[in-house]
Amino acid sequence: MIKNFMFTSESVTPGHPDKLCDQISDAIVDEFLKKDMLAKVRAEGAVSGGVVFLAARFVSDVEVDLPHVARGVIRDVGYTGEDFNADDCTVMTNLLEYPQESTRPIDVSQASDADLDEIKANNQVTVFGFACTQTPNFMPLPISLAHALARQLYSAGSEGVLPYLHPDGKTQVSVEFRDAKPSRIHTISLLASHEDAPGITPRKLQNDLIEAVIDPVFQDQPLRPDNDTEIFINKGGLFIGGGPAGHSGLTGRKTGVDAYGEYARHSGAALSGKDPLRVDRIAAYAARHAAVNLVAAGLAEQAEVQVSYTLGKARPVSIVVDTRRTSEFESDELAGRLKDHFDFRPGAIIRDYDLQRLPGATEGGFYRKLAVYGQVGRTDLDLPWEKTDKAELLK
């Protein structure tokens, strides 16, 4: 294991075109499941200029107004300007409704163990879950800081602290590691879109974003910028407008932002826009849950849990644990403990996390909230896969 290195992770704000598409796709999933918790739906989106394109394939007897959902998300994110806004953008849809009798899912809360064995993996995929001791929420520090900066950057504009900011932005943090532990903040980079006004200069952006974004985020952090930390703010020049009017977006293109900031592996598959029956989404949550509990149990300082599925089988074909030499236990021993206390069958994951009902029980939608600031490691949401409820069992 490399002990001395530097690692960089990025995050983006809700107004980034890719994240806008993720939020629209997950809002569509939420809307179907609110009305029909047994709906099957896949939703993808693309946005460029003033055009939003949505493709959805579904099995359900309910109707969802996709353009209405999309415009609601665009409006909530804050796009109200002339170049791109919820009311004037063109929303194009391509819908494919499958027959009701085609693999209609069951209510897993009422399912027997035999029923769960009949809910097979609907994709061949290898997913990864990761956890470490770098932060209280068991996430790598670089992506944790990048998310915190993205959240603060967006809030500074949306809450009127810096009213000239637009919704589109990116953040990046580089952390130096010594003996495999975070030792200092090497670089902080912000890219903020803004209105076109004479008073907005590079110096003003620099001063405003340090005061309203960077300083508040690091105020309570144990590791803070030092005199040698480099801070880059809009180093490519002024970023006027931003958003879909400036660059295109696509569902599922920010998988590193959704997961671990590339510090650990992920499947590469999009998480957003998929109903709970899609194993490449929900198994990623289960793998994260397993990794979190291994680390919370004190069995490793870092844990990457790899779970592989094949088409037509309910149970994974393999479970592998890599602790990056931070555990006294062998991988096979830890994998065996996971098999004893975690049920990785798709139906069991849906049941244990209540994934069919959460959209209808969560104000403002459930999956849509996962589409920004990461789908794992969230402290602002009560996510079942972040709980350390099985740590004692694993010891």
Using the predicted structure, report yes or no on whether residue 101 has a pLDDT greater than 80.
no
Question: d(Cα 32, Cα 30) in Å, to the nearest integer?
Answer: 6
| Residue that has been written with the tokens 């960077």 in this structure | 214
Domain ranges of the chain: 5-9+141-242, 17-101, 125-134+252-394
Q: Candidates 1.10.10.10, 3.30.70.260, 3.30.300.10, 3.40.50.300; correct CATH number of 17-101?
A: 3.30.300.10
- On whether the CB atoms of residues 121 and 282 are closer than 8 A, the answer is no
Question: d(Cα 134, Cα 302) in Å, to the nearest integer?
Answer: 9
CATH architecture of 5-9+141-242: 2-Layer Sandwich (3.30)
Structural tokens at position 266? 């992920």
Question: d(Cα 151, Cα 156) in Å, to the nearest integer?
Answer: 9
Bridge partners, 79 (sequence order):
none
Alpha carbons within 13 A on the beta-carbon side of 333: 9
Structural tokens at position 187? 């670089």
Determine the average pLDDT of the residues in 96-109: 78
Determine the average pLDDT of the residues in 326-346: 97
Q: What is the DSSP string of 229-268?
A: EEEEESTT---BS-GGGTS-EETT--HHHHTTTTSS----
For residue range 288-313, what is the model confidence (pLDDT) as tens digits? 999 999 999 999 999 999 999 999 99
For residue range 229-272, what is the model confidence (pLDDT) as tens digits? 999 999 988 899 999 999 999 999 999 999 999 999 999 999 99
Question: d(Cα 204, Cα 209) in Å, to the nearest integer?
Answer: 8
* pLDDT of 2: 82
For residue range 48-74, what is the model confidence (pLDDT) as tens digits? 999 999 999 999 989 999 999 999 999
| Residue that has been written with the tokens 């943090």 in this structure | 173
- H-assigned helices in 78-179: 113-117, 141-158
Under CATH, which number does the domain 125-134+252-394 receive?
3.30.300.10
Determine the average pLDDT of the residues in 77-102: 90
Task: Please state the length of the chain.
Answer: 395
Question: d(Cα 273, Cα 280) in Å, to the nearest integer?
Answer: 12
207 backbone dihedrals φ, ψ, rounded to 5°: -65, -45
* Interacting residues of 10 by C-beta distance below 8 A, sequence separation 6+: 146, 170, 171, 172, 173, 256, 257, 261
* pLDDT of 103: 65
Question: d(Cα 89, Cα 79) in Å, to the nearest integer?
Answer: 10
* pLDDT of 102: 61
- If DSSP codes are grouped into helix, strand and coil, which group holds residue 229? strand
Residue 127: its H or E element: strand 125-132
